[in-house]
Chains A and B, each alone.
Chain A
Amino acid sequence: MNNAHIEVQNLSKTYRVPQRQSGLGAALRSLARREYTEVTAVSHLSFAIQPGEMVGFIGPNGAGKTTTLKMLAGLLHPSGGTAVVAGYTPWERRPEYLRRISMVLGNKSQMLWDIPPLDTFHVLGEIYGITPTDLQQTVEELTAVLDMGDLLTKPVRNLSLGERMKCELVAALLHRPSVLFLDEPTLGLDVSMQRRLRQFIADTNRRTGATMILTSHYMADVAELCPRVVLIHQGRLLYDGLLGQLSDQLAPFKLIRLALDRANGEGEWRHRLPEGTAVLDPDPANLTLRVPRRETSAITAYLLNTLPVVDLSVENPPLEAVIDQIYQEAAV
């Protein structure tokens, strides 16, 4: 995998967290001697990402997604392991590296608060050494796509969250980065704004060929943008592959939908369900059952034999349900 744009091996990060009981006595004792606990945020993570690829990091809160992104963006030093991004070790923080990457943090603003976005863009232009002509061209291009002409001259603090997020994306793309880290870019936005930004991100990926890693708690973001997902749980890698195959590999159950014949004793179906079957929708016209994956065929055969089935289909559970199940179990 010599041509990988991002190559991560055994990346680990352990935080030392000062530990203290509440109360004055404990506060005084901790002055004399601090006790620390070690918290493992990321543990032996390995993966490789090809140029232009768009990968989604998913996992519950505190799984280690953001910590991993921060190490790749050079904000954090790892406790172990290696990473090479665009030929550089991120945490050496070389200016040439920082000029090639960009990071959008959904809950931290890159914009200067009291002045209009256009002024911030000009400052960033100077910082990244973009020529005024290039800068103007890029700004015009991006703001046209995002339809934000009238936002450019209002102070940032007067913008709505969605409007500000548009500015953040423009700010992140001014220097045409070849690697883009998007940490919860749609956090707190309404559905249509989410869709809008998603579309923009997808277009940007196609147009610029930038390699992108995205974290999001909105599965719609990931499902629409990222063919490939990396599932991180408790700092470890649980799954790395196509989103479409995630349920196949990780969901321990399937859904059986059936329609029963109303004329033919539909009321008794409840008593004839095999063990381990959960009813998700009790409407006999659209009866939905959750069954253990291993027993799917046996249960299907049983249902066809014992119930007046008109129609039957077997499906993978929706992604959200699978993810929820994984998040709730300590390990799969």
Chain B
Amino acid sequence: MNTNHQGGLALMRATWLSWMQHRSFFFILAFGWMMQPLIFMFVWATAAGDQTVGGLTRGEIVAYYLTLILVNQITYSQTNWTVGDLIRGGDMNRLLLLPMSPLYNTLAAELAGKVVYLTFVLPITVGLALLLKPEFNLTAVSLIAFLPALLLAWLLRFLWGYALALLAFWAARADALLAVQDALVFLLAGQAAPMLLLPPLLRTLAVILPFRYMVGFPAEVLTGQLDAAQLAFGFAMQIGWLAVTVLLYQLMWRRGVRQYTAVGG
């Protein structure tokens, strides 16, 4: 890969500047992404009532879902949807001319976007927390472990999505796979229901496949749903899947660029 952090950083600053001009667009996007977890939070919180569901009280479910909303916002890689357009529309040409991997361009957009829409999501989540009275059982371990879990989750979700998006080098409408990816994340990454509430078969799938490690895992870490062994296992899976994804990305990129037809002027 053509590493050029200096250039990437400059690109990120510039992208951020240009995106700040479309703040409201990002706010609306972010609002849309919050809806699903919010709905499922109310479903499960209502189901719990004054008792517990799967060992979780109403307050714990609210805490879990509020964390999930934040984790989902931070890890969701909306820019991967535009990678296919870059390739199909021929805009990849100008990125390929620069002495810098085009991955930086997507990464810059990704980070710039996050800064913009977190200014919207953070206050709303805090507001919801004040209203809905979540029960956080925070410990030193869960607090310390949360940050690396979150970082790995984002890296995994971003790079996995990017590698899938590179399929556009071969197939014109490869982003259908990104939609499948979103559906799997919804089902298996703790959005439709926390891991603890999944039926055994789905839970096994969730533990093995990469999707839980993109969203659900950091939320489980912060809300203290995991014991030490589960925590260690989760990190091992995150790192393992990330390694697989890096290889997948490299393979897709090398093959894809050879295949590229550089359409349009």
Could you tell me which A residues sit within 8 Å of B by CB distance? Answer: 15, 66, 70, 73-77, 93, 95-96, 98-99, 101-103, 105-110, 112-115, 119-120, 122-129, 183-184
Contacts A95-B4, A107-B265; is A75 near B96 (CB within 8 Å)?
Answer: yes
**Top 10 closest pairs, chain A to chain B, by CB:** A127-B7, A126-B10, A114-B18, A107-B265, A98-B99, A95-B99, A75-B262, A123-B10, A123-B14, A77-B258
A21 to chain B, nearest CB (A): 17
B2 and A76: CB pair below 8 A? Answer: no
Q: Of B32-40, B87-95, B119-127, B235-243, which binds chain A?
A: B87-95
A76 and B21: CB pair below 8 A? Answer: no
Could you tell me which B residues sit within 8 Å of A by CB distance? Answer: 2, 4, 6-7, 9-11, 13-15, 17-19, 21-22, 90-91, 93-94, 96-100, 257-258, 260-262, 264-265
B261 and A123: CB pair below 8 A? Answer: no
A95 and B265: CB pair below 8 A? Answer: no
A278 to chain B, nearest CB (A): 36
CA distance A113 to B9 in the complex (A): 18
A108 and B11: CB pair below 8 A? Answer: no
CA distance A37 to B156 in the complex (A): 38
CA distance A102 to B172 in the complex (A): 28
A120 and B265: CB pair below 8 A? Answer: no
Given A109-B94, A128-B7: 19 more A-B contacts, CB < 8 Å:
A74-B97, A75-B260, A76-B262, A93-B96, A95-B99, A103-B97, A105-B93, A110-B94, A112-B15, A114-B18, A119-B14, A119-B17, A120-B14, A122-B14, A123-B13, A126-B7, A126-B9, A127-B7, A184-B265
Which residues of chain B are near A15, meaning CB under 8 Å?
261
8 Å CB contact of A183 from B15, B19, B99, B265: B265
CA distance A10 to B22 in the complex (A): 49
B93 and A115: CB pair below 8 A? Answer: no
A123 and B11: CB pair below 8 A? Answer: yes
Which residues of chain A are near B14, meaning CB under 8 Å?
112, 115, 119-120, 122-123
B48 to chain A, nearest CB (A): 46
A113 and B18: CB pair below 8 A? Answer: yes
CA distance A74 to B92 in the complex (A): 12
CA distance A97 to B87 in the complex (A): 22
A127 and B260: CB pair below 8 A? Answer: no
CA distance A29 to B15 in the complex (A): 43
8 Å CB contact of B21 from A75, A107, A114, A122: A114
8 Å CB contact of A108 from B13, B18, B19, B90: B90
CA distance A66 to B265 in the complex (A): 7
Contacts A75-B260, A77-B258, A127-B10; is A98 near B17 (CB within 8 Å)?
Answer: no
A326 to chain B, nearest CB (A): 23
Which residues of chain B are near A109, meaning CB under 8 Å?
94
Between A93, A96, A123, the greatest number of chain B beta carbons within 10 A of the residue's beta carbon is seen for A123
B11 and A106: CB pair below 8 A? Answer: no
Chain B residue with minimal CB distance to A100? B99
A29 to chain B, nearest CB (A): 17
A105 and B265: CB pair below 8 A? Answer: yes
Which residues of chain A are near B11, meaning CB under 8 Å?
123, 126-127
A102 and B97: CB pair below 8 A? Answer: yes
Which residues of chain A are near B99, meaning CB under 8 Å?
95-96, 98-99, 127-128
Chain B residue with minimal CB distance to A17? B261
A75 and B97: CB pair below 8 A? Answer: yes
CA distance A126 to B258 in the complex (A): 27
A93 and B2: CB pair below 8 A? Answer: yes
B18 and A115: CB pair below 8 A? Answer: yes
